Amino acid sequence: MLLVNKMAQKGLPLDIGDAELLTPSVVKKAQDFWASRNEYTITPLHSLTALAKHYGIAGIHVKDEDYRLGLHSFKALGGTYAVFCIIMEEAQNRLGRRIMFDEISHPDVKKIASQIIFTCATDGNHGRSVAAGAQIVGAKSVIFVHEGVSQKRREAIAAYGASIEEVKGTYDDSIVTASRMIKDKGWIMVSDTSWQGYERVPGLIMQGYTTLLTEALLQLEELPSHVFIQAGVGGLASAIAGHLFLLFGEKRPKIVIVEPESAACIYESAKNGCSVKINPGKPTVMAMLECYEPSMIAWRILSRIADGFITISEKEAVDTMRLLAMPRGNDPFIVSGESGGAGLAGLIQICENTSLMSELRIDRGSRILIFNTEGATDSQRYIELVGQRPQDIYLKNENRPDL
């Protein structure tokens, strides 16, 4: 179901603080940081030419975060970057001098990092990013997961040296527990959601996320007319939306937020005109998007900039995973996790309803940007849903001379 955002049509400006958070000169620091790292490579941008032709639009482009820094998720750009920033600040305060990113392996900085424990709550991908960052700098990490986080995703986090703590309940319950522990034990929280009095670290994470948008804009020949972006608490969606607004103003692409039907906290907030916490429903297959309360920063930004909000069903999410694994015509094969293809699922829902297409002004000249936010971060679950192994899908692309 599509909900058009009337506030966005009025062109309300961002809060001053939110604008400063995502202004080009500020986010460039994060982009320069990643460009300086040896492990950093730009992820692919795929063109789904056959699918676009099928729906009678000019183009569908998919930014494929399956290839991001070995973690198979865009989250790698955020949590790790925030950990690095926090370590630098701690080192500067204790050593009394300015610390640069390339000094992260200096013995004095490593000694300080070894005394720090980072923590966060996660559905899987964010915790892996924080744990990876902590391991790189020589710190420790304790990651809180809820009951619904699969064993494979827990193992992927633990592989970076993290201690895993399970919390009964939902992602939101794990946030409460992690927040309590930082008060009791003095750990440092690296949360990708924000609340009253806790905005700076989520802001750093959002700045890290903008790197994938910068890459996409360089890879595209033209500015897209629309961006479909999935949301859990809304960190990525608001980072993309806010940065696009600051870059292009009223000439920005139309932005559509996509959520699971059973965990649509931003959709319900937009419907109510204020941020709301919704009651947990039946667990969604889109595990990385199973969130019941928006990030405070994300809601402020999306309530003013997003042009529309839609929800997708479990079937639509899984069907899109399968479509990307078995594409139309000569379109590339894409490994997309349960939450990865949600943006495309939202676009397909719109394109199969001419009145909704008209409402969002999607027509034969439209060029759509989509983000495949994760690959098969739980390979067994992927096989169960898609019926193919991720490695076999990669091989199909490698064996195609036209790609």
- pLDDT tens readout for residues 331-346: 999 999 999 999 999 9
Rounded CA gap, 126 and 214, in Å? Answer: 21
User: What is the structure's pLDDT at 183?
Assistant: 80
- Determine the average pLDDT of the residues in 177-197: 90
Nearest to 47 by CA among 27, 63, 65: 63
Q: Where does the pLDDT of residue 9 fall: very low under 50, low under 70, confident under 90, or very high at 90 and above?
A: low
What confidence score (pLDDT) does residue 400 get?
Answer: 66
Task: Evaluate if residue 120 carries a pLDDT over 90.
Answer: yes
Residue range(s) in the chain whose domain bears CATH number 3.40.50.1100: 2-73+210-398, 79-191
Asked whether the predicted pLDDT for residue 216 surpasses 70, the reply is: yes
**Computed from CA positions of residues 156, 105, 108, 76, in that sequence, does the dihedral angle turn out positive or negative?**
negative
Specify the CATH architecture of the domain 79-191: 3-Layer(aba) Sandwich (3.40)
| Closest-CA residue to 317 (of 289, 285, 288) | 285
Q: Does residue 178 sit in helix, strand or coil?
A: helix
Residues paired with 228 in a beta bridge: 256, 370
pLDDT confidence band for 62 (50 / 70 / 90) = very high
- Asked if residue 403 has pLDDT above 60, the reply is no
Q: What is the mean pLDDT of residues 370-396?
A: 96
Burial class (CB in 10 A: 0-12, 13-18, 19+), 243: buried
- Asked whether 137 and 89 are in contact (CB, 8 A), the reply is no
pLDDT given for residue 106 in this prediction = 93
pLDDT band at residue 402 using 50, 70 and 90 as cut-offs: low
Own/partner contacts of 325-330, CB < 8 Å, gap of 24 or more, are 325/386, 325/388, 325/393, 327/48, 327/50, 327/51, 328/48, 328/50, 328/51, 328/54, 329/49, 329/50, 329/53, 330/49, 330/50, 330/402
* Phi, psi at 367, each rounded to 5°: -125, 115
Q: Chain-wide mean pLDDT for the chain?
A: 94
pLDDT at 209: 97
Q: What is the predicted pLDDT for the residue at 8?
A: 75
Average pLDDT over residues 343-362: 97
More confident residue, 219 or 181: 219
When pLDDT is cut at 50, 70 and 90, the band that residue 401 belongs to is: low
pLDDT at 102: 87
Q: What is the pLDDT of residues 233-287, one digit of tens each?
A: 999 999 999 999 999 998 999 999 999 999 999 999 999 999 999 999 889 999 9
Q: What one-character DSSP code corresponds to residue 162?
A: -
Provide, rounded to the nearest whole percent, the portion of the chain with pLDDT above 90: 87
The residues annotated as belonging to the active site are 75, 123
Tell me the backbone φ, ψ of residue 118, rounded to 5 degrees: -95, 150
Architecture per CATH, domain 2-73+210-398, reads as 3-Layer(aba) Sandwich (3.40)
Residue 148 clears pLDDT 80, i.e. is over it: yes
Assigned token pair, 252: 């920005």
Give the residue carrying structure tokens 């973690």: 71
Q: Is the pLDDT of residue 6 over 90?
A: no
Output the six-digit token pair for 246. 């600051």
pLDDT confidence of residue 398:
77
Q: What is the side-by-side order of every strand in the sheet holding 163-167?
A: 163-167, 140-146, 117-122, 188-189
Angle formed by the axes of helices 296-305 and 265-272, nearest 10°: 60
What pTM was estimated for this model as a whole? 0.94
Token pair recorded at residue 347 = 């676009």
Where are the strands (E) in 197-341, listed by range? 226-230, 254-260, 308-312
Q: Is the pLDDT of residue 36 over 80?
A: yes
